[in-house]
Amino acid sequence: MEDRRNIILAVLLTGLILFGWPYVANMFFPTPPPAASSSATTASPAKPTGASSDGADFTTAAAPAKQIALPTALSAAPRVAVETPKLKGSINLEGARIDDLVLLAHREELSKKSPPVRLFAPSGTSNSYFARFGWTGNGATFPTDKTLWTASANKLTPSTPVSLTWTNPEGQSFEIKLSIDEHYMLTAEQRFSNAAGLPTANVAPFGIISRKGKPKDATKGGSIFTQIHIGPIGVFDGKPNYDWGYDQVAEAPDGKVSFATTGGWNGMTDKYWLAALIPDQKIPVKAEFKSQDGYNWANVRNAQLTAVDAGKSVAQTSRLFAGAKEFEELRAYTDKIGIPYLDYSIDWGWFWFIAIPFLTILLWLFDLFGNFGVAIIALTIIVRLFMYPVAQKQFASMAGMRAVQPKMKALQERYKDDKPKLQQEMMKLYQEEKINPLAGCLPILLQIPIFFALYKILMLTVEMRHQPFALWLKDLSAPDPLTPINLFGLLPFTPPAFLAIGILPILLGITMWLMQRLNPQPMDEVQKQVFAIMPWFLMFIMAPFAAGLQLYWVVSNLISIGQQKWLYSKHPILKEQMAKEEAEKKKAKA
């Protein structure tokens, strides 16, 4: 019993730490900027605007001092339209900026009338966020973010690539051939051609993402269990890096963090959206996160310059992902194109090995049923079927514990003043009766990683966003919206968040309480108190979490109750014993 009590307390404490520690740590123990990784190097201070020290406009020009309205910004320079099944927008020919993209498949709010999510916006607007490709080096006049490019066509679609060209006064030409697929991937073939009779030019292509400010839900980086990384992100030397938040980059020396790597990518992630620069995977590059004057940058450039003799040219292909983190598409880019860990731009956390297979199954079930709520219920049933042998052992342990309760009571009476002897006799009793009290806790321990894997799936996968179930549950990725505190919205006030307990959390508490009623009641007072508090404690804890997660837990509890009822029906002796215990309780109370 002592072991069981300790495990129960451990489970409770684990839950408290997993859910509560990130918030406590953020509030009372701000995380200092992490040390740069082994591949990181300290770079020279960044120039705030304009040309870099090697003569090229490698950074990006400062935004206009006065904020510009979006329509004004979109009409300020000639543009090339972008149209795909999932993206719509335009490319600014001034600076060859990809600065106008909306995600047609995802809306800002739950309402179908809500506008599509805007990912990129032009420089100078309130939510400036864009990407562009360029060159750095020496021996040439390089295009800047003010250069006006010439386009080969007026529309970029999956079937119609567009070439942007510019020739400097010396006759050296630059070209960016842009193509796009039907999802969120742009490919940029950058070509530099040196003019005949000119000295050798040394050039290196680069890509840059610029963002004004940071998202409201940005995290400080780092992913323990429940924290979702929103901020700078990249894959360097074959390893995903979630270590840096926007604030931490700003606090780094010179507001800059650099990584030397071959392969991988560099970008910025939101909860559901991603902008990532993907260089040629075989060429050593230098990647940076930068922050200055309220702006954030992620950039990638070749580590070495390439010498281009007169009359020669050099070309290099890189990519830009700009879109929603749809798992199947990200995985396809990883598997088919070879972009390492692009599917890990979703911060799966420690239980990635459970979360990824579960999401794959969940998406398959969604294709089958057409409703994510039904898919979650089906997934719960599948999980419980796999857990059935373990549940059987749990029940066997529970039944054994119930059967020996009279003997346990006798031991407690006999050795109430000798705890060591009591423990010794209890262990002896377990061995004689062939009972393993830990078996009763095994399903709970196994459920913990499954639960947190599902937490990650339901909280951060865009596939769950705005997905309805039935009745009042219009968004399974959001908390249950109805609460009896304001009579399910009939009373005109919004209760405080800690009191706004929805219907599903209440059902969760009730089903947990019912499960406990079917279990043997602990004899230890501490255990009794823990068991009594646990359902209602979890009801409050779970209330702010995604309704889909609560749905999983409620259905799982209902299956457990049904399973226990069925098993009791197969063992009438236990049922009789339960009735006897109940009668004894009533007698004791009387």
Residue 220 has pLDDT above 80, yes or no: no
Residues 196-223, mean pLDDT to the nearest whole number: 83
Per-residue pLDDT tens over the stretch 400-421:
776 777 777 777 777 777 778 8
Could you give the count of Cα atoms lying within 13 Å of 455 in the half-sphere of its Cβ? 20
Contact 474, 548 (CB under 8 A): no
pTM, to two decimals: 0.77
For β-strands 79-83 and 155-156, DSSP reports them as: parallel
Banded model confidence at residue 182, pLDDT cuts 50, 70, 90: very high
Contact 124, 212 (CB under 8 A): no
Looking at per-residue confidence, does 583 or 107 come out higher?
107
Cα–Cα distance measured from residue 289 to residue 270, given in angstroms and rounded to the nearest whole number: 15
Cα–Cα distance measured from residue 476 to residue 551, given in angstroms and rounded to the nearest whole number: 9
Contact 343, 225 (CB under 8 A): no
| Phi, psi (degrees; rounded to nearest 5) at 269 | -115, 140
Per-residue pLDDT tens over the stretch 15-73:
555 555 444 444 444 444 444 443 443 333 333 333 333 334 455 555 566 788 889 98
Which residue bears the tokens 């968004």?
475
Residues 515-519, mean pLDDT to the nearest whole number: 74
In three-state secondary structure terms, 167 is: strand
Which residue bears the tokens 């009896």?
484
DSSP 493: -
State the chain's mean pLDDT as an integer.
80
Residue 7 has pLDDT above 60, yes or no: no
Cα–Cα distance measured from residue 525 to residue 412, given in angstroms and rounded to the nearest whole number: 13
Per-residue pLDDT tens over the stretch 351-405:
788 888 888 998 999 889 989 889 989 988 888 888 777 777 776 676 677 677 7
Nearest of 523, 530, 519 to residue 426 by alpha carbon: 523
pLDDT (0 to 100) of residue 29 = 42
List of E strands, 63-182: 79-83, 87-92, 97-107, 116-120, 129-138, 150-151, 155-156, 162-167, 173-180
Residue 312 has pLDDT above 50, yes or no: yes
Q: Token pair of 124, please?
A: 């100078």
Banded model confidence at residue 152, pLDDT cuts 50, 70, 90: very high
Looking at per-residue confidence, does 133 or 522 come out higher?
133
Cα–Cα distance measured from residue 513 to residue 293, given in angstroms and rounded to the nearest whole number: 54
Q: In Å, how far from its chain's centre is CA 276?
A: 16
Residue 96 has pLDDT above 60, yes or no: yes
- Numbers of helices and strands, H then E, in the chain: 14, 21
pLDDT (0 to 100) of residue 45 = 34
Looking at per-residue confidence, does 66 or 251 come out higher?
251
Most confident of 282-296, 471-485, 569-583: 282-296
Cβ count near 419 (within 10 Å): 10
pLDDT (0 to 100) of residue 532 = 74
pLDDT (0 to 100) of residue 51 = 38
Cβ count near 350 (within 10 Å): 14
Looking at per-residue confidence, does 6 or 490 come out higher?
490
Percent of the chain with pLDDT over 90: 32
Looking at per-residue confidence, does 425 or 309 come out higher?
309
Q: What is the largest CA-CA distance in the chain?
A: 108
Cα–Cα distance measured from residue 90 to residue 99, given in angstroms and rounded to the nearest whole number: 7
Residue 487 has pLDDT above 70, yes or no: no
Residue 9 has pLDDT above 70, yes or no: no
Most confident of 96-100, 500-504, 530-534: 96-100
Cα–Cα distance measured from residue 330 to residue 341, given in angstroms and rounded to the nearest whole number: 9
Mean pLDDT is lowest, of 345-354, 500-509, 576-585, for: 576-585
- Which residues share a beta bridge with 261? 285
Mean pLDDT is lowest, of 50-54, 123-127, 137-141, 367-371, for: 50-54
| Phi, psi (degrees; rounded to nearest 5) at 485 | -60, -40
- Which residues share a beta bridge with 405? none
Instruction: Name the strand (E) or helix (H) holding 441.
Output: none
Contact 139, 170 (CB under 8 A): no
In three-state secondary structure terms, 237 is: coil
Q: Torsion angle, CA of 454/33/219/284, rounded to 10 degrees?
A: -70
Residue 130 has pLDDT above 90, yes or no: yes
**Helix, strand, coil in percent for the chain, rounding step 5:** 40, 25, 35
State the sign of the Cα–Cα–Cα–Cα dihedral 367, 373, 379, 381: negative
Helical H segments across 175-251, by residue range: 246-251
What would the DSSP string read from start to end of 471-483?
TT---TTS-----
Residue 284 has pLDDT above 70, yes or no: yes
Residue 271 has pLDDT above 70, yes or no: yes
pLDDT (0 to 100) of residue 221 = 52
pLDDT (0 to 100) of residue 441 = 62
Residue 493 has pLDDT above 70, yes or no: no
Contact 504, 545 (CB under 8 A): no
Domains identified in the chain and CATH numbers = 70-347 (2.70.98.90), 364-589 (no CATH)
Looking at per-residue confidence, does 65 or 315 come out higher?
315
